[in-house]
C-alpha cells in the first residue's frame, strides 16, 4: 500500500468557535491568495491571534432554470479571543456547529484533492446517503504543493439516495 488511502466516516461534526469569516466574491475567487493575505493583515492589525487553520466553506447553488450554478465561498479563521467589534466585509460568528457530515482526511498534492471528493461521492452512493452541495475544507497543513485537509460534506437528511 502506498499510504494514499482516504478513509470516509459518517455522522461527523465540525465545531468552530470565535469564527471570523469573509464572503469571497467572484473576482476574489480568481485571486484567493490575495484575499486571504488581506484577511490575515486585518487580523494582525487588530492584534488578534488565530487558533487553528484556514477553513473554506463552499456552497453550490442553482441560480436559474438553465442548470447554471453559482459557487458561494467563505474564508474562515478561528480567533483565540472574542473581538469587541468587526468591520465589513468581515463577519464574526461566536459559535458554529455543523452536524451530520460525511468526513474524509486527505493528504497529498493539492491538485489531487478531487479524489477525496470523488471517493466521498462514491461512498455516499454505495451507502444510499444523500449529500448537500455544501462543503467545509479545513486546511491542516500546506507545504508547497502538498496539503493535509479535513473535508466535511453535509448529509441531506430530507432527500433519499441522491448524492453529489
| 6-38 pLDDT, tens digit each | 999 999 999 999 999 998 876 655 677 888 899
What's 62's domain CATH number?
A: 3.20.80.10
Asked if residue 18 lies in contact with residue 112, where contact means CB atoms within 8 angstroms, the answer is no
Asked whether residue 29 is assigned to any structural domain, the reply reads: yes
| pLDDT score for 163 | 43
At 72, the pLDDT band (50, 70, 90 cuts) reads confident
Beta bridge partners, 8, equal 104
Mean pLDDT calculated for residue range 73-93 = 92
pTM above 0.75, yes or no: yes
Mean pLDDT calculated for residue range 42-59 = 92
Asked whether residue 12 is assigned to any structural domain, the reply reads: yes
Mean pLDDT calculated for residue range 152-157 = 92
Mean pLDDT calculated for residue range 63-90 = 80
pLDDT averaged over every residue in the chain: 86
Our count of domains for the chain comes to 1
Asked whether residue 162 is assigned to any structural domain, the reply reads: no
Q: Check whether 161 has a pLDDT greater than 80.
A: no
Nearest to 4 by CA among 106, 123, 139: 106
Residue 110 in 3-state DSSP? helix
Asked whether residue 160 is assigned to any structural domain, the reply reads: no
Asked whether residue 164 is assigned to any structural domain, the reply reads: no
| Domain around 88 | 8-155
Nearest to 163 by CA among 139, 132, 141, 119: 132
| 113-133 pLDDT, tens digit each | 999 999 999 999 999 999 998
Amino acid at each position: 500500500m502506498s499510504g494514499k488511502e482516504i478513509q470516509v466516516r459518517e455522522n461527523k461534526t465540525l465545531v468552530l468557535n470565535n469564527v471570523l469569516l469573509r464572503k469571497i466574491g467572484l473576482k476574489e475567487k480568481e485571486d484567493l491568495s490575495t484575499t486571504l493575505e488581506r484577511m490575515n493583515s486585518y487580523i494582525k492589525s487588530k492584534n488578534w491571534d488565530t487558533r487553528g487553520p484556514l477553513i473554506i466553506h463552499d456552497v453550490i447553488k442553482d441560480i436559474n432554470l438553465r442548470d447554471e450554478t453559482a459557487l458561494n465561498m467563505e474564508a474562515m479563521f478561528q480567533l483565540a479571543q472574542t473581538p469587541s467589534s468587526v468591520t465589513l466585509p468581515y463577519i464574526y460568528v461566536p459559535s458554529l456547529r455543523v452536524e451530520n457530515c460525511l468526513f474524509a482526511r486527505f493528504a497529498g498534492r493539492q491538485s489531487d484533492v478531487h479524489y477525496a471528493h470523488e471517493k466521498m461521492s462514491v461512498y455516499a452512493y454505495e451507502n444510499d446517503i444523500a449529500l448537500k452541495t455544501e462543503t467545509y475544507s479545513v486546511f491542516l497543513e500546506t507545504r508547497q504543493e502538498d496539503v493535509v485537509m479535513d473535508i466535511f460534506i453535509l448529509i441531506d437528511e430530507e432527500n433519499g439516495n441522491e448524492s453529489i
